[in-house]
Amino acid sequence: MTTRDLATGAVAVVVVGIVWLQGQAMTEQGRAVAATQEHVRLTLHGSTPTMAWSPDGRRVAVSASYTYFGHEAAISSHRSELGIWVVDATSGEKRRISNEQGYHPIWLDDATVAWGHSPYEDGDDGLFVGMADELSVRRIGTMEGVYHTLPAKEGGVLYWSGWPEEQGWMIADPATGLLSSAGVGAGVTSWQVPRNKVKSQCLQQVGKTRLMASRSGDEPHWVIQSGGERHPLSMKPYVFGEDEFAPDEHKGMVRPCLSPDGKKVAFFVAGEGETFGLRIGAVP
């Protein structure tokens, strides 16, 4: 078991108004309308951002990390901003709960976050659990090849056990570290997520509200369909395409995530250089 030094982030969070492009006709004309909703605005460094909503819909966990090796200079320059962050979806309050890089954070409950780290990435390997409100991180079990952590539908952490263990999709009990097979059969790769085993914390549809990919000319963007209307997100989306081994369906715009009640949406936008922005706003 290892304990990591933790720090509370001091990066400012600014609350500003969401800008939406409202209606298909207005999208075609290229006119933006400022709605009354507000959203949290946050900028972080990294190349492989992922996020998850807490079950109570109050907070979002975000990874600020670089994918695999090859980013040594950027990691060295921005070490103080990398790690796992928890952001309040209403106030914008932000806390860094791990000052080491981590990947695919998920919520075990409203106050506990888990994430993985593989031997191909800068930092300590393994499965880690941290508290959203306390400066405390612990390692679970002894496994090293922890990839693609996801919330298991029946409880625990679903993850791809890759090199050096190479056991396929497994489920880890965060309380004991005990492992069990996810039961998805042989020949399933790390890119083939067993959706029937996952309790999603990045919902694409809640009731009649859903997220869709769309395109205006050559520019792709995300659209919220709600109340019989379409509301394109006006900001340039963050696009992931660096991993040459990823199948095409796993490249492109990183998906936004609806809150559990469908009233808020969190999404990533492209930033300057090796940065990305997190936005959290009310669904129109």
CATH number where 28 lies: 2.130.10
Query: Residue 48 in contact with residue 82, Cβ under 8 Å?
Result: no
Residue with tokens 């809150």: 259
pLDDT for the residue 41 = 84
Kindly state whether residue 255 falls inside one of the protein's structural domains: yes
| Separation between Cα atoms, residue 215 and residue 64, nearest integer Å | 27
Helix segments in 49-197, DSSP class H:
72-77
> What is the tally of structural domains in the chain?
1
Give 135's pLDDT tier (boundaries 50, 70, 90): confident
pLDDT for the residue 27 = 35
165: helix, strand or coil? coil
User: Is the link from the previous residue into 164 a cis peptide, with omega within 30 of 0?
Assistant: yes
Q: Which two tokens stand for residue 97?
A: 């709960």
Kindly state whether residue 111 falls inside one of the protein's structural domains: yes
| Separation between Cα atoms, residue 254 and residue 222, nearest integer Å | 10
The string of pLDDT tens digits covering residues 137-187 is 999 999 999 999 999 999 999 999 999 999 999 999 999 999 999 998 777
Mean pLDDT lowest for which of 75-89, 175-189, 242-256? 242-256
Query: Residue 20 in contact with residue 251, Cβ under 8 Å?
Result: no
Inform me whether the pLDDT recorded for 7 exceeds 70: no
Q: Taking Cα atoms as reference points, which of 221, 227, 235 lies closest to residue 206?
A: 227
Residue with tokens 């108004």: 17
pLDDT for the residue 196 = 94
- 54 Cβ neighbours under 8 A, 6+ residues apart: 60, 61, 107, 110, 132, 201
Give 91's pLDDT tier (boundaries 50, 70, 90): very high
Give 129's pLDDT tier (boundaries 50, 70, 90): very high
Mean pLDDT for 77-89 is: 93
Kindly state whether residue 6 falls inside one of the protein's structural domains: no
Helix segments in the chain, DSSP class H:
24-29, 72-77
Phi, psi (5° rounding) for residue 129? -130, 135
- Full-model pTM: 0.83
| Separation between Cα atoms, residue 121 and residue 64, nearest integer Å | 13
Angle at 44 between CA 145 and CA 109, to 5 degrees: 55
The string of pLDDT tens digits covering residues 198-216 is 999 999 999 999 998 887 7
Kindly state whether residue 155 falls inside one of the protein's structural domains: yes
pLDDT for the residue 85 = 96
Kindly state whether residue 2 falls inside one of the protein's structural domains: no
Which residues constitute the domain of residue 262?
14-282
Kindly state whether residue 142 falls inside one of the protein's structural domains: yes
13 versus 192: the higher-pLDDT residue is 192
Mean pLDDT for 122-126 is: 89
| Separation between Cα atoms, residue 176 and residue 155, nearest integer Å | 13
H or E element, residue 240: strand 239-240
Kindly state whether residue 7 falls inside one of the protein's structural domains: no
Kindly state whether residue 205 falls inside one of the protein's structural domains: yes
| Separation between Cα atoms, residue 280 and residue 38, nearest integer Å | 8
Average pLDDT value over all residues in the chain: 81
